[in-house]
Structure 1
Amino acid sequence: MLIRFSVENFLSFSDRQKFSMLPGKGSLKADHKTSKLNGISVLKTAVLFGANASGKSNLIKAIDFGKKMVLRGNKPEKPIDYQKFRLDKQSNINDSRIEYEIQHKGKNYAYGFIFNNELIKEEWLYEIGAKKEIKIFERNFSNKELFDLNYILQKLKKEEEKQFLRFIAKGTPNNQLFLTEIRTRKVRENVSKIDDLLNVIDWFQNSLKVIFPDDKYNEGLKFELKQDVELLTTFEEFLSYFDTGIDGVCLEKVDSENIDIPKPLLEKIREDLLSKKSENIRASIISKGNTTYFLSVKNNDIVTEKFMTKHKVKNANNPEKFDTSNESDGTNRIMDFIPLLMDLLKGDNVFIIDEMERSLHPNLIYDLLDLFLSKSTGINSQLILASHESSLLTQKLLRKDEIWFAVKDNYGASRLHSLEEYNVRFDKEIRKDYLLGRFKAIPRIGNRNKLTVINK
């Protein structure tokens, strides 16, 4: 679970800005909060509103950037590829900063790093509680020792383990995160009692999911449907619930020669699937627009299947099969989100989604959020959205502390604030005030009379 995220000097963010999932003082909708873990409870959802270019997407990009730095790392001798805030000359000199406060594996952690295009200046991991902090490790480029690993080293009894950990720390490139080295250098196999490091890496790898408007989530689930009747039933129940008009789904065998995919790419996939390296890979996925193909191995041969929808036909027993490219963008969007909903309700997932409402009717996006909140009792998952959909801006659906706004100041810097900061009654409908500009998160449209060309 995400407790808090802060960002500084990154894209449109200049001064440090904090996005918090900590509950405010309100007592309404208590089921929107999780049970306390070491004194800290968090909210299950939040929606960030704002005008175009206000910083909503940049906040999500910052969260995703940190995830990629941990999981993918940075190429040796290459600059760290990101953009500082460009509208203040001082920002070119200043470093950037990203920090996550999270809940995972029964503990609360604060993990972050200070960096620039050349190097990681600082990196830290703390276990945090309501009243105390434990420093697990700290890295500071300005210190002679560079790494403080005392907390971990004190737990290790074998000298060779201590030496190995020191070796990894000392060998961490200046432009690489220590957590990335822990993940990629087989430290787990050689050093015990590093559960805190592995827990944080696991959160980035398996819990945090960042989804941008053109992303598809867990396409592989569509391949699993043919082997799992319960999974198929759940998927089709969701299709019926959201009134898509689809009666079922299936995988249809097709000739791979007829797929509109470059032949060299198909050959490469065939080679990979037939190689020994791919023994644990069940299928390769190819998405072409709204069409999804699955290539799998059967009897040492490649089988190509296409994901199809089924529709009832009047005066006929057999359904008509549709290529998903023939379905509406909204229907395809719903099919993309069904695996997401299923994973949300399993628990231990944090979904951060940009423009979830794209191609969806306002009633559908409202119901998606309401469905998650109504079915997540006792489930620790989070759904965090950046949205323009003002129909979500109601206290009938969300708490005040779940509603956030992104605005830009006079110098183009993004700032974040919550509805919790305003004196708003719990029963007041706030959508009208938002559209009138009370919360400062709408476009500032100029004077039409100054449009000289069209006023001639």
Structure 2
Amino acid sequence: MLIRFTIENFLSFREKQVFSMIPGKGSLKSHHKSTSAKGVSALKAGVIFGANASGKSNLIKAIDFGRKTVLNGTKPEQLISTNFYKLDKKFFNEPTYVEYEIQHKGKNYAYGFILNSKEIIDEWLFEIIKSGETKIFERKNTTEYDLGFLFKKNKTSEEKQFLEFTAKGTPRNQLLITQIRNTNVIDNVSDIQDILNVIDWFQNALTVIYSGTKNISKKFELHKDTNLQQVFKDMLEYFDTGIDGIEFKEVDFEKMDILTEVKEDIKSDLLSEKSEKTSAFLSNPQDDKYYVISKIDNLTVQAKLLKTKHKIVGGGYELFDLKDESDGTRRIMDLIPLIIDFFRGGNVFVVDEIERSLHPNLVRDFFEFILDKCENINSQLIVSSHEATLLTQKLLRKDEIWFAVKNKEGATKLHSLEDYNVRFDKEIMKDYLLGRFKGVPKLGNRNQLSILPINE
């Protein structure tokens, strides 16, 4: 679970902004809160509203930036791929600040880093409880490390030397936990479980889903024991798509018309010993085809092409490619694996523009469905949206509703509905559209548009 995320000097975020999933004082919809771990709970849903270009998607990109920095790292001598705030010269030479407070494996952690395009300046990991915190490790001034806690867990001189050697051998442009993930540290020490828990959260719990379909992308990873055909049939019928099921056609993975680096990335992910999942759902927008890629053994993956089934008048079925289905149906196909993994628990989904190509009633029902059945599930769904019908306290708690607003200088500010004095029975959609909570577009004077004819 994501407890809190903090970002500074990245894309449209100039000053430090905090997106919090910590429950407020309200007692309504208590099943929207996760099971307490060490006295800390997190909300299971978060919806960020705002005008176009307000920074909603930039928040999601910021969350994903940290994930990619941890999992992918940076090659030696390569610049770190960051994106500073560009509308204020004072921030051109300032570093980016990123921090995640997370709940995973029964513990709460604060993990973060400060970086510029050349090096990691600071990095830290703390375990947090309601009454305080314990430092797991801290990195200062790029090369200075405090490993005292890890030395207490790994007491032999050989273990301490190996940990110190690993830290000192970490490149200036690389995170320490990335270095640990990419080397055999675990085979040479007794206990670095807290670091492994954080790595596992980024690799196996956090999934970021963008709205665009211009790039080939792995959408979700699925467990091998899932009966995909039955699940898809049930969900497609539930969402009234007119589809009567799916079938799979086995194809040669190596001959798939997909970029080699994409195929290698999928194989690397699925065959990794650190991955908990065994299958991936892949969309190829170049030909509008969907595939399920499954791990067969430690060296091999199998690809199957997904086709939809439609009843023929007079009996029988016709098989369709996904390109023959509507944009809305394809978007539903994207979300079905999310639903599967959400109810398995332990997953955090961050989705950009959840409403893309979907009817407002379907978006509302999707959230009702997730939140109505989440009482004993510790998963999270965080989305950006323009869909104002979600703005109701019958569906969401006040602390689950957020707004992104850009000021006159183009910097994004975040605030929650919890900041406003709003009764629990107050319908808030109208007030939002009227601008009470900000986050709506400020339109200009149409009579001053240059395209209009000039009246003499």
* Common fold by TM > 0.5: yes
Structure 2 match to 1:332: 330
Structure 1 match to 2:311: 312
Flag the structure with larger Rg.
1
Whether the 8 Å CA contact 1:2–1:350 is kept in 2: the answer is yes
Alpha-carbon distance in 2 for matches of 1:249, 1:168: 49
Q: How does 1:433-452 map to 2 (within 5 A)?
A: 433-452=431-450
Question: What letter corresponds to residue 193 of structure 2 in structure 1?
Answer: D
Alpha-carbon distance in 1 for matches of 2:447, 2:280: 59
Whether the 8 Å CA contact 2:73–2:174 is kept in 1: the answer is yes
Structure 1, unmatched stretches of 5+, are none
Alpha-carbon distance in 2 for matches of 1:179, 1:370: 38
Alpha-carbon distance in 1 for matches of 2:320, 2:61: 35
Deviation, structure 1 residue 37: 1.1
Residues 355, 283 of structure 1: alpha-carbon distance in 2 compared, 3 angstrom cutoff: closer
Structure 2 match to 1:173: 171
Structure 2 match to 1:108: 108
Deviation, structure 1 residue 283: 9.2
1:213 to 211, 214, 218: 211
Structure 2 match to 1:122: 122
Q: How does 1:339-418 map to 2 (within 5 A)?
A: 339-418=337-416
Moved more, 429-438 or 289-298: 289-298
Whether the 8 Å CA contact 1:449–1:455 is kept in 2: the answer is no
Residues 384, 158 of structure 1: alpha-carbon distance in 2 compared, 3 angstrom cutoff: same
Whether the 8 Å CA contact 1:217–1:337 is kept in 2: the answer is no
Alpha-carbon distance in 1 for matches of 2:108, 2:428: 34
Deviation, structure 1 residue 296: 8.7
- Give the paired residue count: 439
Percent identity between the two aligned chains: 55
Note the alpha carbon deviations across 1:28-82, whole angstroms, 9 max, x for none.
1111111221111110001000011111111111110101111110111111121
2:257 to 256, 261, 268: 261
Deviation, structure 1 residue 218: 4.5
1:160 aligns with 2:158: yes
Residues 305, 196 of structure 1: alpha-carbon distance in 2 compared, 3 angstrom cutoff: closer
Alpha-carbon distance in 1 for matches of 2:449, 2:422: 37
Alpha-carbon distance in 1 for matches of 2:134, 2:63: 24
Structure 2 match to 1:74: 74
Whether the 8 Å CA contact 2:33–2:44 is kept in 1: the answer is yes
SS of 2:180's partner is: helix
Alpha-carbon distance in 2 for matches of 1:387, 1:441: 11
Residues 302, 396 of structure 1: alpha-carbon distance in 2 compared, 3 angstrom cutoff: closer
Whether the 8 Å CA contact 1:251–1:307 is kept in 2: the answer is yes
Deviation, structure 1 residue 448: 1.5
Q: How does 1:36-75 map to 2 (within 5 A)?
A: 36-75=36-75
Note the alpha carbon deviations across 1:262-295, whole angstroms, 9 max, x for none.
8x969x979x99xxx99x9989967244212568
Question: What letter corresponds to residue 232 of structure 2 in structure 1?
Answer: F
Whether the 8 Å CA contact 1:60–1:354 is kept in 2: the answer is yes
Residues 138, 50 of structure 1: alpha-carbon distance in 2 compared, 3 angstrom cutoff: same
Whether the 8 Å CA contact 2:220–2:281 is kept in 1: the answer is no
Residues 286, 344 of structure 1: alpha-carbon distance in 2 compared, 3 angstrom cutoff: closer
Whether the 8 Å CA contact 1:217–1:336 is kept in 2: the answer is no
SS of 2:441's partner is: coil
Deviation, structure 1 residue 205: 0.3
Residues 40, 229 of structure 1: alpha-carbon distance in 2 compared, 3 angstrom cutoff: closer
Deviation, structure 1 residue 367: 1.0
Note the alpha carbon deviations across 1:393-434, whole angstroms, 9 max, x for none.
111100100000000011110000000000111111111111
1:245 aligns with 2:256: no
Residues 285, 20 of structure 1: alpha-carbon distance in 2 compared, 3 angstrom cutoff: closer
Structure 2 match to 1:192: 190
Residues 19, 220 of structure 1: alpha-carbon distance in 2 compared, 3 angstrom cutoff: closer
Note the alpha carbon deviations across 1:367-416, whole angstroms, 9 max, x for none.
11111111111110000000111111111100100000000011110000
Q: CA-atom RMSD, angstroms?
A: 3.0
1:236 aligns with 2:233: yes
